[in-house]
Amino acid sequence: MLYAKNKTMPPHSLPKLPALALILTLVACGGGGGSAPGNTGTIGTTTTTTTGSGSTTGTTNATAPVINSFSANPASINAGSSTQLSWTVTGATSLTLNGAAVTGNSLAVNPAATTTYTLTASNSACSTACNTSATVTVTVNSAGTGSTAGNAVYGDLRKADLGAGANLNGSLPFPANNAWNTDISAAPVDPASDALISSIGLGTGLHPDFGAGLYDGAPIGIPYVVVAGSQPKVSVQFTDYGDESEPGPYPLPANAPIEGQKANGSSFDGDRHVLVIDRDANRLYEVGNAYPQAGGSWKVSGGAIFDLTSNTVRPGGKPGWTSADAAGLPIFPGLVRYEEAASGVIRHALRFTVSRTRRAYVPPATHWASSNTSNILPPMGMRVRLKASYQIPANFSSETKAILQAMKTYGMLVADNGSNWYISGAPDARWNNDKLVSELGSVKGSSFEVVRMDGLVTP
């Protein structure tokens, strides 16, 4: 659910002088490498000027170029994808990238293999000894290999099937060391854990906000669709959060499933999330309050684009921005999906809601959605885990066992305001609703603890 935002040199030449011979002799040079070289001073030169009446000697200054920054976004891509090299340079009259002349302050590249790029800045008033260089390496992952663990493939979704609710076939968003995929079972407990858990409800049981069939005429859960890179991109009109959204176009199919969409075609409200995975580009597009328009465009309150290959999960976003989720997080990575649960192993953190949150957030969240500053309320992004002392009942279904084990190993992140202890998931006809509700409902809030919160952000 979206919530109100919290605002807080071109080359030149020396002039031609009549009957004047100009000779420059270098006295001192310097330069530096890396993204921000240390040399920011001037270069002294001795100048001898000869005219018809004699000659004079003096000293002039030539400034050594400075590369203030040089980066690749993203720094890790899959074969066939591209990345943007960007730089800021001062005091240069010319630039080269791996020996070829470049202009401007950015360039898109799509290397076939891992490549190191060298940016060299020159000043025509100084010798080549004053050139400054910086390097950046772009890592290229081979198609379909990614980082693997067991049958899991991290940061590469090109093995996924196509369509609504499609199987990912072991693929997982983001690298293995991403916050969503990190084992936190041994992480320290937050000092305020007891008070925070109490505010959510010690005696309240978990509830699956997903399942099979229909509830109130709509599928139960948050749907998603996987598309190919050939899916046409269409324009999106932002109605509320355009200044905190990546501009379109987005590859949103005209028939993309919308959260809360009635099976009989009648009107509906709610969050109306649309989640689209471009498997070939490894990008996730998420929008909220989505309404399809004539001609294929969409009207949405806001949108976000996530890079599934990188730990810079939202290259176009900024701290403090919302997303299609109140916490500024991506929604899809935290969903419980039947494919994973039925396999017996879920290898990522889950997403859940609480009714009252704090005006604060903790990474990986980037946004808060409350005016309450009480330190006994959970901030957005707070992670809880099922205590090691909790024994998962042997008679529970394999799906519920997998869900509860994921809560022990990876935990759950507070992602939105909603009902306490409601776990988000994707609709699937294969879920057993009765078992989900009864088994998960028997697990109370008192069985959870808060993982220590580092990097808490408050307004």
Q: Is the peptide bond before 11 cis (omega within 30 degrees of 0)?
A: no
Asked whether residue 77 is domain-assigned, the answer is: yes
Which DSSP string corresponds to 174-187? S-TTSGGG---TTS
Does residue 206 share a domain with residue 282?
yes
Does residue 315 share a domain with residue 180?
yes
What pLDDT, on a 0 to 100 scale, did the predictor assign at position 59?
47
Asked whether residue 67 is domain-assigned, the answer is: yes
CB neighbour burial string for 211-231, b if at least 16 within 10 angstroms, e if fewer: bbeeeeebbbbbbbbbbeeeb
- Strand partners for 304: 286
Does residue 437 share a domain with residue 361?
yes
Asked whether residue 59 is domain-assigned, the answer is: yes
What pLDDT, on a 0 to 100 scale, did the predictor assign at position 111?
84
Does residue 168 share a domain with residue 151?
yes
Q: Taking every pair of C-alpha atoms in the chain, what is the biggest distance, in angstroms? A: 106
Instruction: Kindly state the tokens that stand for 442.
Output: 């028997």
Asked whether residue 14 is domain-assigned, the answer is: no
Domain span at residue 187 reads 147-450
Asked whether residue 8 is domain-assigned, the answer is: no
Into how many domains does the chain fold?
2
What CA–CA distance (Å, rounded) separates 356 from 196?
Answer: 11
What pLDDT, on a 0 to 100 scale, did the predictor assign at position 10?
34
Does residue 221 share a domain with residue 97?
no
What pLDDT, on a 0 to 100 scale, did the predictor assign at position 30?
34
What pLDDT, on a 0 to 100 scale, did the predictor assign at position 22?
28
Among 114, 141, 168, where does a domain finish?
A: 141
Task: Spell out where 110-151 has E strands.
Answer: 115-122, 132-141, 147-149
Does residue 351 share a domain with residue 215?
yes
Count CB atoms within 10 A of the CB of residue 196. 24
Does residue 157 share a domain with residue 133?
no
Asked whether residue 459 is domain-assigned, the answer is: no
Q: Establish how many alpha carbons lie within 13 A of residue 180's alpha carbon, considering only the half-sphere containing its beta carbon.
A: 26
Does residue 151 share a domain with residue 135?
no
Say if pTM beats, i.e. exceeds, 0.75. Answer: no
Supply the CATH number for residue 96's domain.
Answer: 2.60.40.10
Among 113, 141, 169, where does a domain finish?
A: 141
Instruction: Kindly state the tokens that stand for 156.
Output: 């590469």
Does residue 156 share a domain with residue 279?
yes
Asked whether residue 120 is domain-assigned, the answer is: yes
What pLDDT, on a 0 to 100 scale, did the predictor assign at position 136?
81
Q: What is the pLDDT along the chain (459 residues), one digit of tens a residue?
A: 444 444 333 333 333 333 323 233 333 333 333 333 334 444 444 444 444 444 444 444 567 899 988 888 766 665 556 778 888 999 899 999 999 999 998 898 888 788 889 999 999 888 777 888 888 887 765 444 455 566 799 999 999 999 999 999 999 999 999 999 999 999 999 999 999 999 999 999 999 999 999 999 999 999 999 999 999 999 999 999 999 999 999 999 999 999 999 999 999 999 999 999 999 999 999 999 999 999 999 999 999 999 999 999 999 999 999 999 999 999 999 999 999 999 999 999 999 999 999 999 999 999 999 999 999 999 999 999 999 999 999 999 999 999 999 999 999 999 999 999 999 999 999 999 999 999 999 999 999 999 999 999 998
Does residue 297 share a domain with residue 282?
yes
**Amino acid making up residue 94:** S
Does residue 352 share a domain with residue 208?
yes
Does residue 178 share a domain with residue 312?
yes
Length of the chain: 459
Among 112, 141, 170, where does a domain finish?
A: 141
What CA–CA distance (Å, rounded) separates 292 from 274?
Answer: 11
What pLDDT, on a 0 to 100 scale, did the predictor assign at position 459?
80
What pLDDT, on a 0 to 100 scale, did the predictor assign at position 84?
82
What pLDDT, on a 0 to 100 scale, did the predictor assign at position 128?
77
CB 423 within 8 Å of CB 414: no
Angle formed by the axes of helices 433-441 and 398-409, to 10°? 40
What CA–CA distance (Å, rounded) separates 459 from 453?
Answer: 16
Asked whether residue 15 is domain-assigned, the answer is: no
Angle formed at CA 159 by CA 158 and CA 164, multiple of 5 degrees: 90
Closest by alpha carbon to 441, among 198, 199, 210, 203? Answer: 203
